[in-house]
Amino acid sequence: MAENSLKKLLMKPTLEVARGLLGCTLTTRVGGRETSGIIVETEAYHGDIDEASHCYRKRTARNEAMFGRPGTVYVYFIYGMHYCLNIVTEAEDTGAAVLIRAIEPSSGIDVMQRRRHSRKLEGLANGPGKLCKALGIDKKLLGEHILESQSIAIEMSRQFRAIDIGCSSRIGISRAQDLPWRFFINGNKWVSCCGSSRQS
DNA sequence: CACTAGATTTTCT
DNA sequence: GAAAATCTAGTGG
C-alpha cells in the first residue's frame, strides 16, 4: 500500500515529487549495514527549462540515468570527492530529477558516525555530499530503482500530511538562481542551512 | 563566530 | 583546460 502511493507520487510533476519526498524515509543496505533517515530537504532539477540541470544541454553518458523511468537512482560525483543522490522524475526520455539534500538520521546512526568520522549528530547528514557518505552511497547504486533495489529504498511515513514546507532558491548553483526549487521542512534542525522561511 | 582557500576527479568545451 | 547541484580545515575577530 505504502509503496503504491509512492509509486503514484513518482508519476507526478518534478516539483510535486520534490515536496512529496519530504518526510519520507530513505534506507540503504550497503556492506551488510542498514542505515536510514527521514528526508528533510530536496531540490528539483528539470532539464528542459532549467539551465542548472545536468540535462539542460543534451543527453550524454553522464546524465543518461536522468532520462530513465521515474524512481531510477541517479548518483553523480562532484568536486573530486563527493557523491550526490537524485531520484529521477517525469516520463522516460525526459531529463529531470530530485536531489536529496539532507536527512534526519533515524537508524544505523553508529554506522553513519563511523563512515563520517564524526560523533556529532547534527551535521551527520545535512548536505548532499555528507548524506551519501553517511549512507554509503556511491556510483554502485547508479541506475538502481527505488521501488525494486535491494540496496536502496524509500517509504512514505505516517506524519506525511502535516508537514510545514518552506522553499527557497537552490544552493551551490551559478545559473537559474531565480527558480525557487529548493524545498525543506520548515524549522527542522537537520536541514543543511537556512532552514526556515523567515525573512530578515 | 565569519570568512577564505584547498581538496581532487569526472565531464564536457 | 576549466568548472562543477560540496565539505572541511584553517585563519582572524
Cβ within 7 A of any strand C atom:
A 43, 45, 52-55, 66, 74, 78-82, 84, 86, 97, 99, 116, 118, 123, 127-131, 170-175, 192
Instruction: Give pLDDT, residue A1.
Output: 55
Nucleotides of B strand lying within 7 Å of any protein CB atom: 7-13
What Å value separates CA A196 and C1' B2?
Answer: 21
Asked if the model's pLDDT at residue A97 lies above 70, the reply is: yes
Which amino acid is present at A79? Y
Residue A103 neighbours by CB under 8 Å, 6+ apart: A26, A37, A38, A39, A40, A125, A131, A134, A135, A190
CA distance A179 to A81: 27
CA-to-CA distance for A82 and A99, rounded, in angstroms?
Answer: 14
Distance CA A124, CA A42 (A): 17
What pLDDT, in 10s, does the model give residues A118-167? 988 889 999 999 999 999 999 999 999 999 999 999 999 766 566 899 99
Nucleotides in C strand less than 7 A from protein CB: 3-8
How far, in Å, is the CA of A68 from the C1' of nucleotide B9?
25
Using C1' positions and the CA of A58, the closest nucleotide is B12
Residue type, A8: K
pLDDT at A98 over 90: yes
